[in-house]
Structure 1
Amino acid sequence: MALRLLRNQQLRSAVLQLSTRTFTTTRVMPKQYHFDTRKFALQLERQGFSATQSEAVLKAVASVIDDGVQNLQNSLVSKEEFSKQSYQQKVDFAKLKSELQTLDKTDATRIATENERLITDIDKLRQKFKEELAKQQAGVRLDLNLEKGRMREESAVQELKLAETGSRIDQELANFKTQIETTKLQVVQWLIGVCTGAFALVLAYIRLLS
């Protein structure tokens, strides 16, 4: 068991050494290897492998190497194909760059146009607001002037009424004074008549006594 584990470890070390070697990537002569198979077999035999085991290991390693080389060859492309793909990528990149630049210019033009439209709309709204404000101010001024005129008219009417009332009062006072004066005169005349009558009676009485 220990000998088998040692051989497996030695086999893994040998395979690891082979995996770090450099192989050709050309499509020609796929069976060409860059290591000495005879030397590798002798190394295996010195490590305790029999000739049959060494041959089996060589076949397994060769199969693995063939598969790896084949996969590597399949994944590789020719220089012409690489140049073609590189050129196509450059063309696609240039096309994409041109499209992006065109898109940027289009977006910039669209944004500038939209900005100008917004500025124009704002100017129109500002002008409309000024006009509406001027109309409102004119309407308020007109209402104030009309109210002032109405108040002046009402004040004039009230003043006229007050003047008429004052004149009427003055006229009534004058009439009342005239009536008082007339009443005074009548009272004085009545008193004079009474006094004259009384004096006549007194004189008549005196004559009778004498």
Structure 2
Amino acid sequence: MFGQPQFNGCQAPAVPASQQALFDRQLLVDTLATTRQLESLGLTRMQAEALTQHLTTILCQNKEKLEEFYASKVALEMSILEQEAKHAGFRSEVLKSQELQVATFTRDTERLQANLEKIRSEIRYEIDKLTASQRLDLNLEKGRMRDELQSLRDKTNELEIKMDKEVNSLKAAMEQSKNDTVKYVLGLMLALMTAGLGAARLLMH
């Protein structure tokens, strides 16, 4: 009976009867049923086995050629598992990368916020210092202006006092000159009168 043929590297291995259906399914043909069917058509047992052997060889060759172009179910399942594993690994790497980027972004944001707050504090300090300096300068300027105004008032008062003294002195000098003039005129008139009286006495004698 034809059950374990070997054709061009395609061998139908010896298997238990319970796995014969699986073996025949892998060969794409039931060799025993095919042989019996050929015998029922009038072929001898040897002819039926030879024809079945030839058909099996062709099917094995075609199967090998098909396997070169198409993957088996096991290979597909293994490929799917590998792709799923790669996808899971890639997803894990992406998640880790995203977490790292988020952590880095958070640290950078916190550092920038700290630097910004520091800059704001420095700006507020400089503004306060500048404002205080301007206030001090303004107060000093006001004080200097008050001192200058007071000095100007003092000088004005001194000038007024000096002018008053000079005016009073001038008035006193004018009064003295007036008195001297009156005295001079009176003395001159008295001298003239005395001289006139003397001349009159001389003329009378």
Give the TM-score, by structure 1 length. 0.64
1:50-69 → structure 2 map (5 Å cutoff): none
1:31-42 → structure 2 map (5 Å cutoff): none
Deviation at 1:205, TM superposition (A): 2.8
1:8 matched to which residue of 2? Answer: none
- The one-letter amino acid paired with 1:99 is E
Does residue 114 of structure 2 align to residue 120 of structure 1? Answer: yes
1:109 matched to which residue of 2? Answer: 103
Deviation at 1:68, TM superposition (A): 7.9
Select between 177-186 and 144-153 the one with higher mean Cα deviation: 144-153
Task: Give unmatched runs, 5+ long, in structure 2.
Answer: 1-24, 29-59
Alpha-carbon distance in 1 for matches of 2:163, 2:154: 14
Does residue 76 of structure 2 align to residue 82 of structure 1? Answer: yes
Determine helix, strand or coil for the equivalent of 1:77.
coil
Determine helix, strand or coil for the equivalent of 1:109.
helix
1:40-189 → structure 2 map (5 Å cutoff): 71-189=65-183
Q: Residue deviations 1:101-130, cap 9 Å, x none?
A: 222222122212211221111111111100
Deviation at 1:194, TM superposition (A): 0.9
Q: Residue deviations 1:24-69, cap 9 Å, x none?
A: xx9848xxxxxxxxxxxxxxxxxxxxxxxxxxxxxxxxxxxx9987
- The one-letter amino acid paired with 1:205 is A
**Structure 1 residues 172 and 68: alpha-carbon distance in aligned structure 2, compared to 1, 3 A threshold:** farther
**Structure 1 residues 175 and 67: alpha-carbon distance in aligned structure 2, compared to 1, 3 A threshold:** farther
Alpha-carbon distance in 1 for matches of 2:72, 2:89: 25
- Taking only aligned residues, the RMSD between alpha carbons, in angstroms, comes to 2.8
Deviation at 1:78, TM superposition (A): 2.2
Task: Give unmatched runs, 5+ long, in structure 1.
Answer: 1-25, 30-65
Q: Number of paired residues?
A: 153
Deviation at 1:144, TM superposition (A): 1.1
- The one-letter amino acid paired with 1:148 is K
Using the aligned pairs only, state the percent identity: 28
2:202 matched to which residue of 1? Answer: 208
Deviation at 1:203, TM superposition (A): 2.0
Alpha-carbon distance in 2 for matches of 1:113, 1:149: 53
Deviation at 1:180, TM superposition (A): 0.7
Determine helix, strand or coil for the equivalent of 2:71.
coil
Give the TM-score, by structure 2 length. 0.66
- The one-letter amino acid paired with 1:140 is Q
